Copies of this chain bind each other. A is one copy, B any other.
Amino acid sequence: MGKKAVVLLSGGADSATALACAKRDGFEPYALTIDYGQRHRAELAMAQKQAARFGAKRLLLNADLRPIGGSALTADIDVPSGRSAGEMADGIPVTYVPARNTIFLSLALGWAESLGAGDIYIGVNALDYSGYPDCRPEYIEAFEAMARLATKMGVEGKTAIKIHTPLIGLTKAEIFRLGHSLGVDFSLTHSCYSPAPDGKACGRCDSCLIRLKGFKEAGIDDPLDYAVRK
């Protein structure tokens, strides 16, 4: 059995691929899923399936971010639909959740320290990243530096603290190819911000559009059902 690593597992395609990377790298994965009151709650069930598939221990933490507001993913703000690549590239979208990755990485850091693990995986990517500031390499490096000063394990120096971002330099197409090669079952992932009442992905939100484009470029069939698929 390898060293333990905490993997942030949302139930989306990226974090499922990050989990597969942790396995590939020889770690014993501990999958952390956060129920933050996201409107796309279907991803929580997918996280459970991905964790089971890769033999990861699993923890679901509740940290309800809805009272904080400020995002279309947790508050009563419309999720954008049918935007072009140019529109998506223009600034930080309303689906940005204030400090979300910082909150998630902090919770992962707490669990990691309790497990005696210094390794954390997060499936952020900086290329096709929807413009979120907390998906960039310079942010991850700053978090890592902070984490070394924040924790008992960091101060004592016996456990190296490393935030692994295996997808950070990849395009969506490259992520899907990588996940595919590592055995990710993309039918058990959820990406849509605004699913239809029957659970189908909308096919129109930024996340669906980025996913569909990525699968197309990768030359892999996206196994999900979409309400609309051009």
- A interface residues (Cβ-Cβ under 8 A, vs B): 59, 61-65, 67-71, 92, 96-103, 105-107, 109-114, 133-134, 136, 138-139, 142-143, 145-147, 149-152, 154-156
Q: Is the CB of B98 within 8 A of A111?
A: yes
Give the chain B neighbours of A70 by CB distance below 8 A. Answer: 110, 113-114
Q: Given the complex, which residues of B lie within 8 Å of A142, measured CB to CB? A: 142, 145-146, 149-150
Choose among B110, B138, B139, B145 the residue that contacts A103 (Cβ–Cβ < 8 A): B110
Interface centre among A61, A143, A145 (most CB of B within 10 A): A143
| A196 nearest CB across to chain B (Å) | 28
**Contacting pair A68 B64 (CB below 8 A):** no
Q: Binding site of A, secondary structure by majority: helix, strand, loop or mixed?
A: helix
* A110 contacts B68, C-beta separation under 8 Å: yes
A68 to B114 alpha-carbon distance, docked (Å): 7
| A15-B62 Cα distance, complex, nearest whole Å | 24
Residue pair B133, A138 in contact (C-beta under 8 Å): no
Chain B residues with CB below 8 A from A97, complex form: 110
The minimal Cβ–Cβ distance linking A171 to chain B, given in whole angstroms, is 22
On whether the beta carbons of B149 and A146 are closer than 8 Å, the reply is no
Given A107-B103, A146-B145, decide whether A152 and B64 contact each other with a Cβ distance below 8 A. Answer: no
A11 smallest CB distance to B (angstroms): 18
Alpha-carbon distance between A37 and B92 when the two chains are bound, in angstroms: 34
- Report the minimal beta-carbon distance from A52 to chain B, rounded to whole angstroms: 18
* Bound Cα distance from A142 to B141, whole angstroms: 11
Asked if B65 contacts A59 (CB within 8 A), the reply is no
Residue of B nearest to A139 (CB): B149
Which residues of chain B come closer than 8 Å to A69, judged between CB atoms? 114
Known: A64-B61, A150-B139. A100 touches B110 (CB 8 A): yes
Residues from chain B with Cβ under 8 Å of A151 in the complex: 98-99, 102, 133-134
